[in-house]
Amino acid sequence: MHDPFNIGAVLRSCDSVGIREVFVVYTDPNLLTNRLSIGRRTAMGTQKWVDVHLYTELEYCMETVKSRYDKIYSTQISESSKSIYDYDLTESVALIFGNESDGLSQEILAYSDGNFLIPQWGMAQSLNISVACAITLYEAQRQRHAKGFYESNPTSPTEQKALLEDYLNRHFGDFSGKEISPKQRP
């Protein structure tokens, strides 16, 4: 993603359904920076609640994602794509979204366990990333709610206290969200 307002809107959608981490890959040399540019007004402070992991190397990012989630589904219009409504999003799942102009590279699609699309009947074949993300996340939330995932607070008082401490550290500290690849480590 290149647009800080889209990144902010994605973070806001993630926070609204309880997602606590997002992985962003900056592989375009023009975007290599030490900080993720987020539309602050669009994000409405959610960057303090959602962990943003920023990577400059796709392989390193995807190794991390694969170690944390059982399945990876990507947005890709192809003959093998299925409707988002046909996937079980109550599983341990990571979702990959590309930007409107470039979509997803073949390199990142190689990590995908399946491709999904959001059914559309108009003339446009794509949605803005923040809109596509919100629709998909709310479908996941709908499925999880139907299975009782939200009936009680899954966060213990100890975890809630740790989240508050983490929030305070981020609010008053300098948080860049930058992940250092193994090649860049001292």
Instruction: Write the CB contacts of 82 (distance below 8 Å, at least 6 apart in sequence).
Output: 114, 115, 116, 117
**Closest Cα to residue 131, out of 15, 3, 6?**
6
Judge whether 43 and 76 are in contact, CB under 8 Å. Answer: no
Task: Please state which of the ranges 16-20, 91-95, 152-156 shows the lowest mean pLDDT.
Answer: 152-156
Pick the range with the lowest mean pLDDT from 72-86, 88-102, 170-184: 170-184
**pLDDT tens figures, 166-181:** 766 665 554 445 444 4
- CA distance to 27, 54, 179, per residue, from 183 (Å): 15, 15, 11
Handedness of CA 133, 151, 53, 81 (dihedral sign): negative
Residue 27 is predicted with a pLDDT of 67
Q: Where are the domains of the chain?
A: 4-155
Stated pTM of the model:
0.76
Tell me which amino acid residue 31 is: L
Q: Which of 5, 51, 47, 54 is nearest to 171 (CA)?
A: 47
In CATH, the number for domain 4-155 is 3.40.1280.10
Mean pLDDT, the chain, rounded, equals 79
Query: What is the structure's pLDDT at 24?
Result: 84
